[in-house]
Structure 1
Amino acid sequence: MLRPLLLSLLHALLTPCEGAEYSDPSLLDSTVAHGMIIDAGSSGSRMHVYQWEPRMFTTLPPPISIPGSTNQWTHRMEPGISSYITHLEDIAEALSPLVDFAKDILKDYEEDWERFPIYLKATAGVRQLPYGDREALLSAVRDFLGNPETCPFYFQFDHARVISGEERLRAFLQEGIYGWAAVNFLRGELLALSEGVGTAVSSGNMTVGTLDLGGASTQISFFKSDQDILANLFKLQIGAEKHWNVYTHSFLQFGLNSARARMHTKVVHAVAAAAAPAAAAAAAGADADEGVNAPPVEVVDACLPKGFNESFVSPEDGKEYLIVPADGGADFDACDRQTAELLEASSSSGSFCQFAFPGQCSVLGVYQPELPQGGEHGRFYGFSGYYKLWQFLDLDESTTVAEIVGEGKRVCGMSREELSAYNSLRKGREHNVPYLAKYCFMSSYVTTLLGGGYGFPAEEHIHFVDEVGGYKVDWSLGSMLYEINALPWSYVPPADPAAAAQTSAAAAQEGRPSAAREGRCTTIVWASVAAAFAAVAAIVYGFLERTGRLNSIHHRAGGAPPPYFAARAGTSEEASPWRMTGAVGSGGVIGTGRDRGRRTSGGSQYESISDVSSSRA
């Protein structure tokens, strides 16, 4: 009786008074086995539907829950939600199709929809909005997802938020580290190398670094075996085992779309500044209405192929300009000079980075340790925008920066007609024809970012991937790994309480759950106190059962289970009549959730990622 009242009071205190009607926290329990994440990117939003086994365990500490999915359980909508900032009343246009997609995937579990958690995590496209616009957009999103009439799934206020590119407060994993964890998890290397007791993993020679390139931001993440990371360090904890010292950094405004817009702003600014004196003199002697209908000023972009032109409104003066190619078309070397200015890689002796960390400076003078070298440890996987470019250039999966330069020069030398003809011959051709104008810029920008920004040698091989082990590479997988393992779980002890205590103690001594761990990953910190608690609970239970006091306690409570315990439906005489429930948090075990006899929604509807975690891309 007390626990539901406390939950209701806590929910009332923490839930804002206005806006959406958020879900009842008591709906979330250990039988929940489905969830969704909406990846709200700069150019579009993706709905990812996941399934996992119900979080009811017979060992302590609890084993890691693994999200399963298929590529058919992902749906993309364009444009991104940030494009609705001027007409928030239409936000349903962006979100309704995604929610409807999830409802269709989970149509066999309609009675449990209210218990399936849904999250919306916005990245750099929303992160770069002004504070007021960002908060207004998130408020509209929360109103939609928190309204049972528009979204039937389990939603709380903090389920919709903007994630940072890298985490500085260590409370949550974020975009860069999510991607690193997802790739190395899918490769089947992460957990095996984490096993054992101790502090940090000292040798991760089978892990790979990751490079993510989105529309508004870009991330680089890698493990350093020598532990020499002086800034931008993320300590990634895998269960109760050793942690990984991972360097990760996210660069806002350095995604493909944002970088190209910044480049156009720079070239427009240069033209406007050069024409300013003449324009001022002309304006002084002109009539007030003169020039209002004048055609936009033309600005040459060395990265734009022949046959293309684009309208561009400068964020500096609000005027419209016409971006046109040079007379001879795009030129890779001239384009390189334009993109190099975007990085502003600080190599000057006067920069703070060079003063504090000489020879270890990346884009914008940000500290970056030397890239790992040798073996698998020195390999990098590029995905998202990197893969899109790799696919268009028709390169080998393992490609050097120099090879990208060579193919980039070829693409830059093509006219619009030649690009269209080349595109039509490709198996995975670009369907958005105007996007063909961007591939010259992309080629130059990627090689400049990798070489001049991150410091990759020209002959360094980088692997460009879209899938690993049959699963699409995406930071949302790493995000769901975290969210699942923060959900309520329940412990179902064996019939012999002494065996339960012995099993839990053995698991704690090994520093890892006794259940199979291949392909499992999480980011929660587990202390050995969990095993001690389980042992004490089992001993107390055995004593109460032997002395006959368990029934008297049950009757005095009016048939209700004690706090943090719930009755287990269909219990056999040999099994315990109580099931301990709880949730894993960064600080240990927190009692939460309750088994209300609802049917579980697990089963064989999907292929678990753990089944393919040993696959290598």
Structure 2
Amino acid sequence: KKKGGHMPSWWWAVAAWWLVAAPVRSQGEGPKPAVEEYVVVVDLGSTGSRAFVYEFVEDTVHGNKGKKVTPGISSFSGKDVQFDEYFRPLIDHSKGLVPEEQWAQTPIFLRATAGMRLLPEAEQERLFAGAFASLSGESNPFQVARSHLGTISGEDEGYYGALSVNFLAKRIGRNLRSLVAEEEMPQGGAATSVVDVSPDGTVAPLGPALAPVMGALDLGGSSTQIVFQPLSWLDCTSAQGAQFQEESAAGCPANATLHDGVLDDEDLFVHSFLSYGVDRVRERLWTHLIEASPSSSSLVANPCGFHGRMETWQARELAGSGDATACSQLLREVLFPECSALAGKDGGKQPAETAVEANAWCPLDGVKHTPPVRGVPFVAMSVFFFAIDCMREIT
């Protein structure tokens, strides 16, 4: 998809599903209409690859739970690998969901995310060439072309997350148009003015309110994305929004309302933080611990690990101590080094919280300024969900 353009009818629907695997069923009663077409999409994530099959039935998308294999194909970087056995479980899973008589006309698309974005383009091409050669063999009955394999940008990944959230929440339809009634819009409608009240009581107009587009937070293995629609165009044209764009070269919406009522990527603030996925941050945290410990020490205490859990990293043993307070401070040092430096002033006497407040915006990945987030509902997905689900199991 190109900036400013609209996605092909089949691709936006796939994009609305491939990061959030949840089934959608026809709401009408009676016999199921004839299937228009099938599409197989393989999400080549940093921790594994997942195959999903989608049916397009009139204006409804029918999805499935999907099949996963590990590891992610980016882990094969620098290695000679035959992908036949790697993809076989995904192909067999998809063959079981697509009628045999439609295999030949069903396309298969493979899209990689942050794990591949971290690799040089030449290495990405080598891995994709190997994957394409495998999928061009007799074991794959689906339509495949070299153009069906590729790496998407972090901004597109975030945009697809927004499509997923708003489509599943029934806020947009298959044509990407808003399904939210005007009376449900914040402040009573798109024409209503929104104001900002400062601490001293000054009231400043911020422009028209927007349709309630939900924001998305996506935490993967190698990157994390944030995407939302700022409350007004002034949030992006303000000094804060302008400085963000200058510092990060990230996109900021050009308009305060949806283009013709359609949720387009130009309507959203999107930023992808490469190398800030859970696996990459964990590795940086472990490296930080090792570098700060005496080289003569056989064990390195890891406050972020469960008590007694052992990990091996860079030929050193890390022993979990389960210290949540120390873990929080350690993560602050790894994620927000500039704020941590402020907290260390005056011989470490200045509380970290005070230093953070004094710095106003702690930069993450060098990004200091984003449009203000006011009244935007968010859905957090992927590892955000897995972490909370894990806490439910162990508490």
What's the TM-score, normalizing by structure 1?
A: 0.45
Match of residue 245, structure 1, among 230, 254, 267: 267
SS of corresponding position for 1:210 = strand
Contact 2:225 2:270 in 1 (8 A): yes
Q: In the alignment, which residue of structure 2 is the partner of 1:186?
A: 168
2:377 alignment partner AA:
R
Q: In the alignment, which residue of structure 2 is the partner of 1:384?
A: 382
State the shift of 1:245 in Å.
2.1
Q: In the alignment, which residue of structure 2 is the partner of 1:77?
A: 69
Q: Give, in whole Å, the separation in 1 of the partners of 2:260 and 2:38.
A: 25
Q: Give, in whole Å, the separation in 2 of the partners of 1:133 and 1:192.
A: 41
SS of corresponding position for 2:41 = strand
In 2 relative to 1, CA 364–86 (structure 1 residues): closer, same or farther, beyond 3 Å? Answer: closer
Contact 2:362 2:368 in 1 (8 A): yes
SS of corresponding position for 2:306 = coil
Match of residue 233, structure 1, among 224, 243, 251: 251
Match of residue 153, structure 1, among 142, 152, 176: 142
- The Cα offsets for residues 282-330 of structure 1, whole Å up to 9 and x where unpaired, read as xxxxxxxxxxxxxx942221212222111112xxxxxx111123xxx22
In 2 relative to 1, CA 323–132 (structure 1 residues): closer, same or farther, beyond 3 Å? Answer: farther
- The Cα offsets for residues 154-208 of structure 1, whole Å up to 9 and x where unpaired, read as 1121211111111xxxxxxx11111012101221223226999x9xx95335222
Equivalent runs, 1:1-16 vs 2, <5 Å: none
Structure 2: where are the runs of 5+ without partners?
1-34, 183-189, 191-206, 237-241, 343-358
Equivalent runs, 1:485-496 vs 2, <5 Å: none
Q: In the alignment, which residue of structure 1 is the partner of 2:51?
A: 47
Contact 2:82 2:134 in 1 (8 A): no
Q: Give, in whole Å, the separation in 2 of the partners of 1:99 and 1:75.
A: 9
In 2 relative to 1, CA 86–364 (structure 1 residues): closer, same or farther, beyond 3 Å? Answer: closer
Q: In the alignment, which residue of structure 1 is the partner of 2:299?
A: 298
Q: Give, in whole Å, the separation in 2 of the partners of 1:91 and 1:75.
A: 16
State the shift of 1:240 in Å.
5.4
In 2 relative to 1, CA 164–195 (structure 1 residues): closer, same or farther, beyond 3 Å? Answer: farther
Match of residue 255, structure 1, among 267, 277, 288: 277
2:168 alignment partner AA:
L
Q: CA RMSD in A?
A: 3.1
In 2 relative to 1, CA 158–240 (structure 1 residues): closer, same or farther, beyond 3 Å? Answer: farther
Contact 2:217 2:379 in 1 (8 A): yes
Q: Give, in whole Å, the separation in 2 of the partners of 1:32 and 1:189.
A: 24
Q: Give, in whole Å, the separation in 1 of the partners of 2:54 and 2:369.
A: 35
1:137 alignment partner AA:
L
State the shift of 1:111 in Å.
3.0
Q: Give, in whole Å, the separation in 1 of the partners of 2:51 and 2:258.
A: 26
Paired residues, what number?
A: 301
Larger RCO: Structure 1 or Structure 2 (Cα < 8 Å, ≥ 6 residues apart)? 1
Contact 1:194 1:238 in 2 (8 A): no
In 2 relative to 1, CA 84–247 (structure 1 residues): closer, same or farther, beyond 3 Å? Answer: same
| Structure of greater Rg | 1
Contact 2:258 2:267 in 1 (8 A): no
Q: In the alignment, which residue of structure 1 is the partner of 2:81?
A: 89
Q: In the alignment, which residue of structure 2 is the partner of 1:572?
A: none
Q: Give, in whole Å, the separation in 2 of the partners of 1:192 and 1:360.
A: 33
Q: Give, in whole Å, the separation in 2 of the partners of 1:48 and 1:233.
A: 30
Contact 1:179 1:212 in 2 (8 A): yes
Percent identity over paired residues: 29
Q: Give, in whole Å, the separation in 1 of the partners of 2:180 and 2:211.
A: 12
Q: Give, in whole Å, the separation in 2 of the partners of 1:141 and 1:202.
A: 49
Q: Give, in whole Å, the separation in 1 of the partners of 2:329 and 2:211.
A: 36
**1:126 is the counterpart of 2:147:** no
Q: In the alignment, which residue of structure 2 is the partner of 1:338?
A: 330
- The Cα offsets for residues 83-136 of structure 1, whole Å up to 9 and x where unpaired, read as 333544332222111011111111x2x233222111111111222124443221
Contact 1:180 1:210 in 2 (8 A): yes
Q: In the alignment, which residue of structure 2 is the partner of 1:402?
A: none
Q: In the alignment, which residue of structure 1 is the partner of 2:201?
A: none
Q: Give, in whole Å, the separation in 2 of the partners of 1:188 and 1:217.
A: 27
Q: In the alignment, which residue of structure 1 is the partner of 2:317?
A: 322
Equivalent runs, 1:16-27 vs 2, <5 Å: none
State the shift of 1:391 in Å.
1.2
